[in-house]
Amino acid sequence: LKFYGMTKDPETEELMMILEFADRGTMRSVLLHNFNNILWKDKIYCLFRIAYGLEKLHESGYFHKDFHSGNILQIAIRNEDFNYSYISDFGLSGPSTKQKSDDKICGVMPYVAPEVLNGEPYTLSSDIYSFGIIMAELSSGRPPFYKRKHDTTLALEICNGLRPEFGKGTPELYKKLAYKCMNANSNQRPTAKEL
């Protein structure tokens, strides 16, 4: 995304970035309104762009902490049938070296790694778990556990191995990678570079 500058909210005095307009909106909105027209090659390209952005973030020593389809912006590419995908909303991001175990759980619950739901600190691997959830969502066109309340019961089930469903016709290799990203053992997940 092109960066145009900074501004300050006059009431809260929070700094805000002025970025290129994401004409397609978020990945969540694209899936909601156009899922049946998205080809597998475009889904894979979308994930490639997201993995690339995540790799750059992790190489900088930062994790996202709020990684979900609502924080992935989509921009149409002229004369192409696909969108560019960009990770956004770094408000909860922080250096991976300054993580405290008493930090509060933040993010959208179905995308939060089970170890974080269990009170362990965020790690780079926690973002990889979220990437796996995004893979399932891109496959099915639906947010994870969209028919469920995001409550303690769901959190416990996620900690006990519940994972979102994939859409019909999802390639086995795709599911295998997504399940690897969603592994309950954070040490068994791939790195962003490996993705």
Active site residues: 66
The residues pairing with 25 across neighbouring beta strands, listed in sequence order, are 74
- Closest alpha carbon to 21 in 46, 34, 3: 3
> What six digits make up the tokens of 157?
């089930």
Say which DSSP state 102 is in.
Answer: T
| Cα atoms found within 13 Å of the Cα of residue 138, Cβ hemisphere only | 29
| CB atoms closer than 10 angstroms to residue 112 | 24
Q: How far is CA 136 from the centre of its chain?
A: 11
Say which DSSP state 57 is in.
Answer: H
Distance CA 138, CA 32 (A): 10
Three-state SS at 69:
helix
Contacts of 29 (CB under 8 A, 6+ apart): none
> What six digits make up the tokens of 75?
């921009």
